[in-house]
């Protein structure tokens, strides 16, 4: 539906730019019809952002834990894992 919204918006913009008359009731109906799609898209993007935020938080906690372990014990394995987590962040 997003592509349809973009195509309709482009059509309206082209009409505005060409000074051709725009049927505003139709344009308004189209814009109103776009609202649920855009709201759904916003919901999906927000959920994805929350998931990434949770992942970053978990990686930071794991990184902090590994750094504490690395300073307590000298371990190449822990140091490598710390480097990998830092790259992931």
Domain definitions of the chain by residue range = 2-88
Q: What is the pTM (predicted TM-score) of this model? A: 0.53
- Token duo for residue 84: 């990998």
- What's the start-to-end Cα distance of the chain, in Å? 33
**pLDDT tens across 57-75, in order?**
999 998 888 887 777 656 6
Longest CA–CA separation in the chain, Å = 75
Task: Tell whether the model's pLDDT for residue 8 goes beyond 80.
Answer: no
Q: Are the beta carbons of 30 and 1 closer than 8 angstroms? A: no
Please count the CA atoms within 13 angstroms of the CA of 47 that sit on its side-chain side.
6
């Amino acid at each position: 539906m997003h592509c349809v919204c973009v195509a309709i918006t482009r059509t309206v913009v082209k009409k505005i730019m060409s000074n051709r008359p725009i049927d505003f009731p139709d344009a308004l109906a189209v814009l109103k019809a776009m609202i649920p799609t855009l709201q759904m898209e916003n919901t999906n993007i927000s959920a994805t952002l929350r998931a990434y935020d949770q992942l970053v938080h978990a990686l930071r906690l794991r990184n902090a834990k590994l750094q504490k372990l690395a300073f307590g014990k000298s371990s190449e394995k822990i140091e490598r894992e710390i480097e990998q987590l830092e790259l992931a962040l």
